[in-house]
Amino acid sequence: MKYQVIGTSGIEVSRIAFGAWEVGGGTAWDCDDQAAGNMVAALPDIGINFIDTAKVYGTGRSEELLGKALKGKRHDFILASKGGMNWRDGSGERFCYDRDGRSVYQNTSPEALRLDLEESLTRLDTDYLDLYFTHRQPINVPIADTMGALMRFKEEGKIRAIGISNASIPQLEEYLRYGKVDVVQEKFSLFDRGEVLDYISFCKEHGITFQAYSALERGILTDRFSAQTAVSPGQGAYGMIWYGAERRADVLSLLDELKSIAEGYGLSVSALALSYVLTWGEHINAICGSRKPEHLSQSALGADLTLPRDTMDRIFALVDALHEKYTDSRHRF
């Protein structure tokens, strides 16, 4: 496993982070309460020291289970969580969704973020977080106020570094007017092609780590995706466009091609997909969600390979052909 430093924070992490949304279970993922402990126990052998979770994953359940699993070994890991989305009192900038019998609202005000952070620290049974993200970006709250709260958390020693998720370049620029952002978290996979490359370049220029989520498209870019794979409303993978029945045959055909490429390197499709993401730059980190140690171990091998240009070009061509059929667009280099 290769390692990197997050932004300019001095925090060293594995290039692949364990994504703990799935082990939060709930209506989003079919997962028992033992999975979090099993995953945490397996991480050192896989070489992963970086754990990513969020307040809303399993509506608090992911953090609670991680808190128990990390008891006695909290300092062996770099721990990240996210705030700005809550189900406390029905107040906020906007309604987000209903899940697990809760109505989740977005609120990035300093007061709401303070409550979010304290609740996360309690569930995770720790007195600090290594990284803390705003999960979604302010709508009616000035970014100056949101960033001011994050800077205070950092000054108080409750967080070590600041991240933002689901943001644009202008929003990141606004954050940087008021303090240091060390990491951004955005959706990026081989299916996304060129849409986020400008953001990746901007982060490199400003010494910011770009962390990719949904790098495996919530299970599509694995050897386990098949014609029988199905998702229902409320599940974590529901709404991902490449799960659609009208695209299924073409996606499976692409996966056959990717499997052929992956086998040439002695890897799985998931490892190839993660390698693709990481090949875009040494400042990139990838989150890999999993409920089974053997799946994460297999996927994590992708961190050890930087794909050569001819392989990247072959993947571009395959994905462009798929997108042309459904979106009539081309990859931007």
Per DSSP, the three-state class of 102 is: strand
Rounded to the nearest 10 degrees, the angle between the axes of helix 293-300 and helix 35-46 is: 30
**What pLDDT was estimated at residue 29?**
78
Structural domains in the chain? 3-327 (3.20.20.100)
Burial of 205 (0-12, 13-18, 19+ CB in 10 A): exposed
Residue 252 CB neighbours (<10 A): 14
Give the Cα separation of 275 and 190 in Å (integer): 10
Write down the catalytic residue from 57, 132, 175, 213.
57
**What pLDDT was estimated at residue 229?**
80
- Contact between 191 and 320 under an 8 Å Cβ cutoff? The reply is no
| Cα–Cα distance list, 89 to 33, 61, 93, 160 (Å) | 27, 18, 12, 29
Residue 318 CB neighbours (<10 A): 17
DSSP letter (8 states) at residue 196: T
Helix (H) or strand (E) holding 143: helix 143-155
* Encoded tokens for 6: 């997050």
**What pLDDT was estimated at residue 327?**
67
Residue ranges in the chain modelled with pLDDT below 70: 327-333
Known catalytic membership, residue 105:
no
| Cα–Cα distance list, 47 to 67, 288, 296 (Å) | 20, 13, 11
Give the Cα separation of 79 and 64 in Å (integer): 13
Helices (H), 185-234: 197-205
**What pLDDT was estimated at residue 331?**
41
Q: How many CA atoms lie within 13 A of 191 on its CB side?
A: 23
**What pLDDT was estimated at residue 242?**
83
